[in-house]
Amino acid sequence: MISTEALSGIDTFLAFIAVERQSPINSERWRRKASKAIESLAYFPHRCPIAPENAFRDYEIRAQIVDPCVFLFALTKKKAWCASLAVVMADSR
C-alpha cells in the first residue's frame, strides 16, 4: 500500500526528471526501478534499514532507498505501508 503523499512525491519527481532534466527516458527507468523496489517490500521488508524517523513513532519505520530518493514505510504485522518519499539530490552548482 502506498500513500497519496508518496504517490504525489513520485509524480513530482518523475516530472522533474522528464521536464527539468529533459530526460523522459530516465524518468521512465526510475519509475520502473521504484515500482519494483516498492513491490518487493511485500516479500522482504526487513532487509531495509530502520529509518531515523523510527525514534519518533510507536511503530517501526524503515527506509527503502531508490537513488536519489528514500521511501519511508511503516511495518505492521500484516503488511508494509509506504508512507512518504524524500528526494535527496546533490547540489548542481
Domain contains 92: no
Q: Is residue 74 part of a domain?
A: yes
Examine residue 93 and state whether it is found in any structural domain, yes or no: no
Q: Which domain holds residue 51?
A: 4-87
What tens digit of pLDDT does each residue of 19-32 get?
999 999 999 999 99
How many domains are contained in the chain?
A: 1
pLDDT digits (tens, 9 = 90+) for 52-78: 988 988 888 899 989 888 888 888 777
Q: What is the dihedral of CA 65, 88, 85, 36, to 10 degrees?
A: -40
Q: Report, as an integer, the average pLDDT of 42-46.
A: 87
Residue 11 belongs to domain with CATH number: 3.30.2310.20
